[in-house]
């Protein structure tokens, strides 16, 4: 299988763009919030990127070739540029300008776990830093090299096999380099699903999900990725950690969970045995409007605490609802009549659609179970200001669930800063944190900005908050403008009891806040783990913990 790669200057497939049904209406809305913006040009191709030469001696490149094959060693400027940045706003701003400040020195494409282990051993002996690369979808600086030292990027796309599906146990042994669509295609053919659908699903890999503790859009039902993994294999310099293939055990600390979230700082996940779910016979997603975000969040909380298991419960705040409605075409014909009647009825209940909070609620499974859950869920929702928008809203969300990153590219082309960040907190602190981060971003970005958010992952004790923010780019200071907003928002998250990251990971972008988040003792524990598995300090240095607190190269 050939790994689908995102286009170098943005997201997704070449030639594909975000479809806005009514562009005139949409851009009028954007101008009303952000004012006029200017087009933001980008360099024509990766060939226009100026990279420093590779610093790896020919002898080391030849040694890597002896492990994986000479054709598996890539050193051209275009290849090095493509593998040196992820897909964060800062990454895209720089590569669109032809800037790749810290390029990798070479890329090697192994085909087996043994080759990965041999490459790590060789890199450790030669003092070469190693960065694992799955789909390259990191938005926190997870795949960008540090500024100093020799760097090797290991492309995991060759380890993409579905080695074994065990129907009796509902598990599958999967190569870490397998991408979301290939994984689901093969599991679905056997009647199963992993149920893991992050927004990056089409261009991200199992290994990347595990390394960052990814959370898919349906995690409320299927669980986060660390809940789906039974066992794994981690290649590290000088060894291989293979955890037992058992459903549960009481044998000390869970090493599977130690590896999950390690972001390549301990080694490289080469294979994992994953817990599967049977393909659902029924998927039923519907929309509801609430008079306020607080009402919608309260309804989500009650659903979770009453023991419901929705595939997804997502609640957009008022600003996100307004922005979403600005992108849809105005209804015509009978749909216009139906919507007018619905708006009239909603108004009688004190709800205005553009200033409402919209919930998308979905259940999956056997039809009898789905019908029963909907019957009971409607009883809960009737206790709030919920107004049913029907199945059309749910189907529309499902149809566009992986499209938002394409809109980011379009906005960037028009000179608009657009980025996301996420956190999580307890229900009791939820609205306080939402307001604090929203206000911090609005202050940092100024009046000509839009800050919106939604609840995207729910638990019995709390939920995530996923923010999107937009502002006109400060031309020539795009990165500094973004850093100002990032610092303000992250400071607010730490000060108001939020998770430093809910599912994007730490990378290098969140690293400055790690010690204030987990404490100096927590940092020492992480550093000790790294020293035990990576004493030469070559595994993805500068990610998750600073080099000064991990091992250092000899």
Which of the residues are catalytic?
Answer: 466
Cβ-in-10-Å burial (0-12, 13-18, 19+) of 15 comes to exposed
Q: What separation in angstroms does the CA of 252 have from each of 211, 248, 385, 511?
A: 21, 12, 48, 29
Q: What are phi and psi of 440, to 5 degrees?
A: -65, -45
Distance, in Å, from the CA atom of 254 to the CA atom of 87, rounded to the nearest integer, reads: 32
User: 136, 155, 133: which is closest to 87 by C-alpha?
Assistant: 136
Distance, in Å, from the CA atom of 246 to the CA atom of 152, rounded to the nearest integer, reads: 34
Inter-residue contact 88 to 138 (CB < 8 Å):
yes
Classify 171 as helix, strand or coil. strand
Rounded CA Rg of the chain: 24
How do 282-290 and 171-175 pair as beta strands? unpaired
If you write DSSP's letter for every residue of 110-153 in order, what string do you get? -SSHHHHHHHHHHHHHHT-EEEEESS---SSSTTPPPSSS-EEE
If you write DSSP's letter for every residue of 273-330 in order, what string do you get? EEE-EEPPSEEEEEEEEESSHHHHHHHHHHHHHTT---SEEEEE-HHHHHHHHHTSPP
User: 103, 100, 93, 99: which is closest to 41 by C-alpha?
Assistant: 93
Q: What are phi and psi of 343, to 5 degrees?
A: -65, -40
Stated length of the chain: 554
Instruction: Provide the CA 398 distance to its chain's centre, in angstroms.
Output: 17
Q: Tell me the longest C-alpha to C-alpha distance in the chain.
A: 77
User: 180, 359, 373: which is closest to 280 by C-alpha?
Assistant: 373
Q: What separation in angstroms does the CA of 169 have from each of 173, 198, 273, 304?
A: 12, 25, 11, 28
Inter-residue contact 184 to 202 (CB < 8 Å):
no
Distance, in Å, from the CA atom of 495 to the CA atom of 517, rounded to the nearest integer, reads: 10
Instruction: Provide the CA 165 distance to its chain's centre, in angstroms.
Output: 26
E strand or H helix at 42, and its extent?
Answer: none
How do 106-108 and 151-155 pair as beta strands? parallel
> Which bin fits 35, alpha (ψ -120 to 50), beta or left (φ > 0)?
left
Structure tokens at 489: 């928002």
Question: What ranges in 327-477 are assigned the alpha helix state H?
Answer: 333-348, 367-381, 391-399, 404-413, 430-445
CB atoms within 10 A of CB 371: 14
């Amino acid at each position: 299988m050939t790994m689908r790669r995102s286009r170098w200057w943005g997201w997704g497939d070449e030639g594909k763009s975000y479809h806005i049904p009514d562009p005139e209406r949409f851009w009028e809305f954007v101008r009303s919030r952000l004012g006029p913006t200017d087009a933001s040009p980008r360099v024509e191709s990766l060939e226009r990127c100026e990279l420093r030469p590779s610093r790896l001696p020919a002898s080391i490149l030849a040694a890597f070739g002896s492990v994986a094959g000479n054709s598996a060693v890539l050193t051209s400027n275009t290849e090095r540029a493509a593998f040196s940045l992820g897909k964060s706003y800062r990454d895209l701003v720089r590569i669109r300008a032809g800037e790749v400040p810290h390029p990798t020195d070479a890329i090697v494409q192994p085909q087996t776990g043994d080759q990965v282990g041999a490459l790590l051993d060789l890199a450790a002996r030669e003092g070469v830093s190693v960065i694992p690369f799955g789909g390259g979808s990191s938005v926190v600086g997870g795949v960008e090299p540090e500024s100093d030292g020799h760097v090797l990027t290991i492309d995991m796309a060759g380890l993409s096999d579905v080695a074994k599906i065990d129907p009796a146990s509902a598990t599958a042994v999967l190569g870490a380099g397998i991408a979301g669509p290939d994984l689901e295609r093969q599991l679905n053919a056997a009647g199963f699903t992993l149920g893991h659908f992050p927004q990056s699903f089409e261009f991200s890999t199992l290994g990347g999900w595990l390394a960052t503790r990814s959370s898919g859009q349906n995690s409320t039902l299927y669980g986060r990725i660390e809940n789906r993994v039974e066992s794994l294999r981690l290649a590290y310099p000088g060894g291989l950690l293979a955890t037992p293939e058992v459903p549960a055990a009481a044998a000390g600390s869970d090493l599977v969970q130690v590896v999950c979230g390690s972001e390549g700082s301990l080694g490289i996940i080469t294979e994992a045995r994953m817990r599967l779910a049977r393909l659902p016979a029924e998927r039923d997603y519907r929309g509801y409007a609430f008079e306020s975000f607080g009402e919608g969040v309260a309804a989500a909380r009650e659903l979770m605490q009453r023991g419901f298991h929705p595939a997804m419960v997502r609640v957009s705040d008022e600003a996100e609802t307004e922005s979403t409605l600005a992108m849809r075409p105005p209804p015509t014909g009978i749909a216009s009549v139906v919507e007018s009647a619905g708006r009239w009825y909603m108004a009688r209940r004190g709800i205005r659609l553009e200033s409402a909070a919209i919930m998308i609620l979905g259940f999956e499974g056997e039809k009898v179970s789905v019908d029963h859950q909907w019957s009971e869920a409607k009883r809960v929702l009737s206790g709030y200001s919920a107004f049913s928008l029907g199945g059309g809203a749910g189907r529309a969300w499902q149809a566009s669930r992986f499209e938002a990153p394409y809109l980011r590219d379009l906005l960037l082309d028009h000179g608009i800063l657009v980025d996301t960040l996420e956190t999580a907190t307890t229900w009791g602190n939820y609205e306080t944190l939402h307001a604090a981060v929203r206000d911090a971003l609005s202050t940092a970005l100024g009046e000509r900005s839009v800050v919106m958010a939604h609840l995207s992952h729910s638990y019995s004790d709390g939920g995530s908050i996923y923010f999107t923010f937009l502002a006109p780019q400060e031309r020539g200071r795009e990165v500094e403008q973004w850093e100002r907003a990032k610092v303000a928002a992250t400071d607010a998250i730490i000060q108001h009891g939020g998770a430093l990251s809910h599912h994007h990971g730490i990378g290098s972008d969140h690293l400055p806040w790690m010690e204030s988040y987990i404490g100096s003792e927590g940092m020492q524990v992480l550093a000790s783990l790294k020293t035990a598995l990576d004493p030469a300090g070559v595994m993805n240095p500068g990610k998750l913990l600073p080099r000064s607190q991990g091992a250092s190269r000899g």
